[in-house]
């Protein structure tokens, strides 16, 4: 289950010679993207500018704290508030939901053609860039990371119409994070969350553990210092944070997967198998879903199972943790102090 970081990249097309300063300003990539974006992405971005105005009441109705209503706090004092309302947000999103599952992220034939004809790769090399699926490289087949990021947005800066994998896929393509032919003019997937939310949601902390790579010890949620720090906070103190986990192999082309820790899981930092919001959870499954359930679900795919076996990946092993937070224009810092203090405590532990 790969992600936008695996797409081929092209050099910047910005012209640097033979133009006036005014022409150069108009011809920057940012200017081009602003004028070239379709109405769908423009509407997506535009709706967020009112998040701290009239639309704030809509966020309150879903029992999710409005991103613009962040009180000043003393450093080190966790902010308690209403729990993030996963049910009201309609989560977890499933990547194979028929409302967006068939939507293409990449067109494999176009990717192969671009890499072979323009980049000079052999056909064999070009064909290795993406897995071949009978129904295409769609959100349903490739979109676990995209679906997880849509959940991050809907939890931390809820809006109506809601953030969904479909709308985020459209925005990502129109902003050139990736395109059907594989062209990408962006470097970090986390920038997508910040850009479409106009900076109101940003990645703030992360750790990566290179699962399946020789020399890297196996890391689990109960041994990750960053995940343990987050889980030291009570659910009511996590209202400004969402944690994305990576499972499977470090190589994102086939056997990796992305999902969210359930923000209201009350398990201790020593719990080895926490509740998760998983894009791979079957649509007809309603029971509580844990990290081990996710592993069983995705390794039903024989190619993923093979990758896990070759990398020696364990069911509850993780390859990274990314923490996203609200970071709004109404204050000049997010509520990071308690989390960072907990992280420092875990890093200094002799466990």
pLDDT in tens, 186-209: 654 667 888 888 888 999 999 999
Please determine, for residue 95, whether its predicted confidence score (pLDDT) is greater than 90: yes
Confidence of residue 185 (pLDDT cuts 50, 70, 90): confident
pLDDT of residue 34: 63
Q: Which of 113, 110, 312 is nearest to 218 (CA)?
A: 312
Please determine, for residue 18, whether its predicted confidence score (pLDDT) is greater than 80: no
Collect all residues with Cβ–Cβ distance below 8 Å to 222 and sequence separation of at least 6: 228, 269, 270, 271, 272
- Residue 54: exposed, middle, or buried by beta-carbon count in 10 A (0-12, 13-18, 19+)? exposed
Please determine, for residue 165, whether its predicted confidence score (pLDDT) is greater than 60: yes
Collect all residues with Cβ–Cβ distance below 8 Å to 250 and sequence separation of at least 6: 208, 210, 211, 212, 213, 256, 319
Strand, coil or helix: 114: helix
Please determine, for residue 145, whether its predicted confidence score (pLDDT) is greater than 80: yes
Please determine, for residue 263, whether its predicted confidence score (pLDDT) is greater than 80: yes
- Strand arrangement, sheet containing 241-248: 201-208, 320-326, 241-248, 256-261, 276-277
Rounded to an integer, what distance in angstroms lies between the CA atom of residue 192 and that of residue 267? 31
Please determine, for residue 85, whether its predicted confidence score (pLDDT) is greater than 80: yes
Rounded to an integer, what distance in angstroms lies between the CA atom of residue 40 and that of residue 54? 21
CB 293 within 8 A of CB 181: no
Rounded to an integer, what distance in angstroms lies between the CA atom of residue 211 and that of residue 314? 10
pTM as predicted? 0.76
């Amino acid at each position: 289950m790969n992600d936008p970081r695996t797409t081929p990249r092209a050099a910047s097309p910005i012209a640097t010679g033979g133009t006036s300063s005014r022409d150069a300003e108009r011809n920057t990539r940012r200017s081009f993207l602003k004028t070239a974006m379709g109405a769908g992405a423009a509407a997506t971005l535009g709706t967020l500018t009112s998040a701290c105005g009239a639309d704030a009441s809509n966020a309150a109705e879903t029992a999710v704290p409005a991103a613009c209503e962040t009180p000043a706090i003393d450093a080190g004092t966790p902010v308690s508030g209403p729990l993030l309302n996963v049910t009201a947000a309609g989560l977890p999103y499933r990547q194979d939901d028929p409302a967006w599952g068939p939507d293409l992220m990449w067109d494999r034939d176009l990717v192969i053609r671009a890499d072979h004809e323009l980049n000079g790769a052999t056909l064999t090399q070009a064909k290795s860039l993406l897995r071949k699926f009978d129904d295409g490289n769609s959100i349903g087949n490739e979109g676990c990371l995209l679906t997880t990021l849509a959940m991050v947005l809907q939890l931390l800066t809820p809006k109506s119409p809601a953030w969904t994998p479909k709308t985020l896929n459209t925005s990502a393509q129109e902003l050139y994070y990736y395109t059907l032919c594989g062209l990408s003019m962006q470097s970090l997937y986390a920038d997508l969350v910040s850009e479409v939310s106009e900076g109101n949601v940003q990645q703030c902390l992360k750790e990566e553990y290179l699962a399946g790579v020789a020399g890297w010890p196996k890391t689990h949620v109960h041994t990750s210092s960053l995940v343990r720090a987050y889980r030291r906070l009570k659910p009511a103190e996590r209202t400004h944070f969402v944690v994305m986990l990576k499972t499977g192999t470090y190589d994102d082309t086939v056997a990796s997967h992305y999902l969210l820790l359930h923000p209201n899981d009350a398990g201790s930092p020593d719990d080895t198998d926490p509740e998760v919001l998983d894009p791979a959870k079957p649509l007809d499954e309603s029971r509580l879903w844990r990290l081990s359930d996710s592993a069983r679900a995705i390794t039903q795919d024989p190619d993923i199972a093979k990758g896990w076996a070759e990398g020696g990946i364990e069911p509850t092993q993780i390859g990274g943790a990314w923490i996203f937070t609200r970071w709004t224009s109404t204050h000049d810092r997010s509520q990071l102090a308690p989390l960072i203090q907990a992280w420092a405590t875990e890093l200094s532990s002799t466990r």
